[in-house]
């Protein structure tokens, strides 16, 4: 039935390999005796019955937002929003409170390891191969990730697969496997990560810069490989055990779903678990983070071509508690982006673009920053530094013109309008509709806040935060030029 050439072997490698050697290895492999595969017994899903489905003890509606909030007798919270944005599609997020805040500070990189290996580590009763077999032809997402404040299982599924997804998420969150096959992958994964994060200036900025900006707090950015190599799944087991046993659980479901079916799916899985605590610990000490006090320029290197350098400027701000300030800083950065794009790209011809953004933490108290960065040829770096300084000075000195303000405001309004028709936007709110209910007011007021921000407010924000005495300069150059760059500085 299968005709054509002799077997073709393809090998891709950086080093040159003799074709005769490949042929010899292949020929020898055909001499190895193989046994017929042994038929395996059909795998039965071990998490199909968590016990008596949970009973609802609190059931409310937030009418104007179309959100239904439910609490089961075991204190598991469920929030549902039915939409018709994507027919047949359901987005979900399950959050077990704690996350990075609850992990021991002397086990750096534990969260990253768990996030990377969770799917493969599987569950106590099933290997990853079992789970792939059991979920064949179904749209489900295995594994969990550790965020700043929760263990999270999230993804997209269908109406018909939601019940299986909830049981699978409950299994991963409450009975993780910590399997040896996942542990074996960790040492193989680290060298690959190490190469990727140093490959170009953007990768270095994403992986190493957050740590330095947060006063060398290794909860931010990518934990150094030397520390990651110390981590193991035994540490994960002992560190996560208290959270798995009783930490609060909240579930958000958004999409093309029948409410009764969603409730039944959660009642039969998370709702049937032993009782959970209701209050989330304050984690007061863990929520502390601080921007670096040393304002000497940060100079980093990347392993890419010598023709690329990143010029950056960073100013500390605050957390996201004040929504008007959140919107104001977003608009200020949008204005700065327009001015810098005009100046850097069109006047200096120094870069294809500029990136300006505001990060305001929802987890760490009083922590956030505004960043400006541009990837340029090294000989243009000083010009771009000067351009950034000039634009920021303009923003501090006088209110921007009405036309420029409208150019920044209009895309924000359009983005806000589009997001109201997107499951992903709503999931971010619905997922914590009970534990972070204050933020539910944001979609109600967002449009009005965007429209009401004035040029004078933007100038005041620039004067408050984008000051020269708060500026942190950043330069990331190729390691092939690092010596010259250091000498020049």
Longest alpha-carbon distance in the chain: 81
> pLDDT tier at 1 (50, 70, 90 boundaries)?
low
Q: What digits encode the pLDDT tens for the residues 142-188?
A: 999 999 999 999 999 999 999 999 999 999 999 999 999 998 888 88
Q: Are the C-beta atoms of 139 and 132 separated by less than 8 Å?
A: no
Q: What digits encode the pLDDT tens for the residues 343-364?
A: 887 777 766 689 999 999 999 9
> pLDDT tier at 9 (50, 70, 90 boundaries)?
confident
Q: What digits encode the pLDDT tens for the residues 116-126?
A: 999 999 999 99
Q: Are the C-beta atoms of 224 and 193 separated by less than 8 Å?
A: no
- Dihedral class, residue 157 (left if φ above 0, else alpha if ψ from -120 to 50, else beta): beta
> pLDDT tier at 7 (50, 70, 90 boundaries)?
confident
> What mean pLDDT is predicted for residues 401-411?
97
Strand partners, 253: 80, 92
Residue 3 CB contacts under 8 Å (≥ 6 apart), including other chains? none
Phi, psi torsion values for 295, nearest 5 degrees: -100, 15
- Percent of the chain at pLDDT > 70 equals 97
Query: Does the pLDDT value for residue 2 go beyond 70?
Result: no
Model pTM score:
0.88
Reference 479, options 296, 225, 223, 308; nearest CA is 308
CB atoms within 10 A of CB 341: 17
User: Which DSSP string do the residues of 267-307 spell out, in sequence order?
Assistant: HTTGGGSSP---SPP--TTTTB----S--SPEEEEESS-TT
Reference 460, options 399, 409, 416, 407; nearest CA is 399
> pLDDT tier at 456 (50, 70, 90 boundaries)?
very high
Helix (H) or strand (E) holding 248: none
User: Rounded to whole angstroms, how far apart are CA atoms 209 and 206?
Assistant: 6
CA angle 408, 312, 371 (to 5 degrees): 45
User: Rounded to whole angstroms, how far apart are CA atoms 88 and 256?
Assistant: 6
Q: What digits encode the pLDDT tens for the residues 295-312?
A: 999 999 999 999 999 999
Reference 299, options 103, 484, 109; nearest CA is 484
Residue with more model confidence, 253 or 3? 253
Residue 148 CB contacts under 8 Å (≥ 6 apart), including other chains? 99, 100, 101, 219, 361, 362, 363, 364
Q: Are the C-beta atoms of 356 and 337 separated by less than 8 Å?
A: yes
> What mean pLDDT is predicted for residues 420-440?
97
The helix/strand/coil state of 69 is strand
* pLDDT at position 17: 85
* pLDDT at position 184: 87
Query: Does the pLDDT value for residue 446 go beyond 60?
Result: yes
> pLDDT tier at 489 (50, 70, 90 boundaries)?
very low
Q: Which domains does the chain have, with CATH numbers?
A: 56-272 (3.30.830.10), 298-399+454-488 (3.30.830.10)
Residue 43 CB contacts under 8 Å (≥ 6 apart), including other chains? 126, 130, 133, 134
> pLDDT tier at 422 (50, 70, 90 boundaries)?
very high
Query: Does the pLDDT value for residue 443 go beyond 80?
Result: yes
Average pLDDT value over all residues in the chain: 94
User: Rounded to whole angstroms, how far apart are CA atoms 254 and 428?
Assistant: 10
Residue in the structure block whose two tokens are 């409410």? 259
DSSP symbol at 14 = S
Helix (H) or strand (E) holding 169: helix 162-174
Residue 471 corresponds to which tokens in the numbers above? 């500026």
CA distances for 9 relative to 4, 22, 53, 349, angstroms: 14, 8, 54, 48
* pLDDT at position 155: 97
């Amino acid at each position: 039935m299968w005709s054509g050439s002799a077997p073709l072997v393809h090998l891709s490698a950086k080093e040159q390999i003799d074709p005769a050697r490949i042929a010899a290895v292949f020929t020898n492999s055909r001499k190895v005796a193989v046994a017929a595969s042994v038929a395996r017994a059909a795998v039965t899903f071990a998490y199909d019955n968590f016990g008596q489905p949970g009973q609802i003890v609190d059931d409310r509606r937030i009418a104007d937002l179309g959100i239904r909030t439910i609490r089961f007798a075991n204190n598991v919270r469920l929030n549902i929003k039915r939409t018709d944005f994507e027919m047949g599609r359901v987005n979900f997020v399950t959050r077990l409170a704690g996350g990075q805040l609850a992990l021991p500070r002397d086990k750096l990189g534990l969260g990253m390891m768990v996030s990377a290996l969770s799917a493969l580590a599987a569950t106590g009763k099933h290997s990853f191969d079992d789970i792939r077999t059991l979920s064949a032809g179904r749209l489900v997402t295995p594994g969990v990730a550790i965020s700043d404040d929760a263990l999270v299982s999230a993804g997209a599924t269908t109406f018909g697969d939601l019940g299986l997804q909830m049981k699978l998420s409950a299994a991963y969150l409450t009975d993780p496997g910590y399997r040896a096959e996942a542990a074996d992958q960790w040492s193989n994964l680290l060298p690959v990560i190490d190469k990727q994060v140093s490959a170009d200036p953007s990768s270095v900025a994403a992986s190493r810069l957050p740590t330095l900006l947060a006063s060398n707090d290794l909860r931010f950015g990518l934990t150094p490989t030397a520390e990651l190599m110390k981590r193991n799944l035994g540490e994960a087991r002992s560190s996560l055990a208290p959270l798995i046993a009783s930490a609060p659980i909240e579930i958000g479901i958004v999409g093309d779903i029948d409410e009764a079916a969603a409730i039944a799916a959660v009642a039969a899985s998370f709702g049937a678990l032993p009782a959970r605590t209701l209050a989330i610990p304050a984690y007061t000490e863990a929520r502390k983070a601080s921007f670096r006090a040393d304002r000497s320029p940060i100079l980093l290197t990347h392993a890419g071509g010598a023709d690329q350098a990143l010029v950056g400027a960073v100013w500390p701000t605050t957390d996201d508690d004040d929504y008007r300030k959140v919107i104001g800083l977003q608009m200020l950065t949008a204005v700065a982006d327009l001015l810098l794009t005009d100046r850097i790209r069109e006047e200096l011809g120094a870069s294809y673009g500029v990136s300006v953004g505001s990060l305001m933490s929802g987890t760490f108290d009083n922590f956030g920053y505004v960043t400006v960065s541009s990837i340029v040829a090294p000989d243009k770096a000083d010009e771009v530094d000067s351009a950034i300084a000039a634009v920021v000075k303009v923003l501090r000195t006088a209110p921007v013109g009405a036309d420029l303000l409208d150019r920044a405001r209009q895309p924000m309004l359009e983005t806000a309008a589009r997001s109201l028709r997107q499951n992903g936007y709503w999931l971010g709110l619905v997922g914590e509709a009970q534990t972070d209910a204050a933020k539910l007011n944001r979609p109600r007021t967002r449009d009005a806040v965007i429209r009401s921000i004035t040029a004078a407010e933007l100038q005041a924000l620039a004067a408050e935060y984008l000051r020269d005495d708060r500026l942190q300069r950043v330069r990331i150059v190729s390691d092939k030029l690092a010596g010259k760059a250091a000498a020049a500085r």
